[in-house]
Amino acid sequence: MRVVIPYTDRDPKSRLAPMLSEAERRAFARAMLCDVVETVRRAGHDPELLVPEPIDGANTDTAIDDVSTTVDDRALTPAVDAAFDRIGEDVPELGIVMADLPLAAPTALRRLAAIGGDVAIAPGRGGGTNALVVRDPAFPADYHGASYRDHREAAVTAGLSVGVVDSMRLATDIDDPADLAEVLLHGEGRSHEWLVDAGAVLDTADVLLGVRLGSRGQVVRRIAFRLPV
C-alpha cells in the first residue's frame, strides 16, 4: 500500500516553542518524519511525502532522500483530497499517516491496514485523525477541528463503512511540550535519540512529570504537568 505522509518545513511544531527554538523544532520534526518513514517501510508499505514545497536538499536525511515526493502547496485538506483521487482499479487503497507520530509501530500500521471497510481511522488524542486508510475516492478529507468526528460523519454521509483502530502509538502525536515526555518514555527511534542528545530528561516529583533540557549540567528549559490520578 502507498502511504502518504504530509509534512512541512514551514515553522514546524510551533506549539513546542516554549521548549525548542525554531531550528531545534525543525530538526526534531525531521527526526519524527524519519521515524514515521522507517515505520511505514517496516510495516511493508511504500512511503510518499506530501509537501507544500520541495524539501531543502541541504537538510535531507538518508532515511528520506529516496522517498517519492508529491508537491502540493494547498492546505492539508485539499492536498489530501487530491491524493484520494488516485484511488481506483490500479490503486485500491491509500494510507495517510501524519509525520508527528514517532511512537508509531509497524504492528499498529498493519492493524490499521487490516481493518475492513471503505475507511479505516486511527484517532488521535483530542479528537484528531492521525492515520487513515481509504478505499473509496468518495471519502472527503476534513482536517479542521475535531477531525475524527468529522471524518466519521463524512463517511456515513457518503454511505461508506468505517473501521476504527484504538492504538496508543498511533494516537500519540507530538504537538505540545508535555508530549515530549511520551517520546522519552516510549520512543526508541531518531526522535528519542534527538531529544536525549539535546539534553532532554524526564523530570519527576510526586505527581508531576515533566521534561527538562539541560546544558552542561544546568537546567535551562523545563516543562511540567500533573499526572492523572
Higher pLDDT, 77 or 62: 77
Annotate 159-222 with DSSP letters as a single string.
T--EEE---HHHH----SGGGHHHHHHH--SHHHHHHHHTTEEEEEETTEEEEEEEETTEEEEE
Cell numbers standing for residue 23: 531550528
Residue pLDDT, tens place only, 116-172 = 899 999 999 989 999 999 999 999 999 988 999 999 999 999 999 999 999 999 999
Helix, strand, coil tally for the chain in percent (to 5)? 35, 25, 40
215, 221 in Cβ contact below 8 A? Answer: no
Beta-bridge partners for 93: none
Q: Assign 96 to helix, strand or coil.
A: strand
Q: What is the per-residue pLDDT for 62?
A: 67
Kindly report the average pLDDT of the chain as a whole number. Answer: 89
List the grid coordinates of 177. Answer: 511540550
* Torsion of the alpha carbons at 85, 90, 92 and 96, rounded to the nearest 10: -50
Least confident of 26-40, 119-133, 211-225: 211-225
Residue 198 phi/psi, 5-degree rounding, is: -80, -5
Name the 3-class secondary structure at 30: helix
Region 6-13: mean pLDDT is: 94
Residue 216 has pLDDT above 90, yes or no: no
pLDDT above 70 for 176? yes
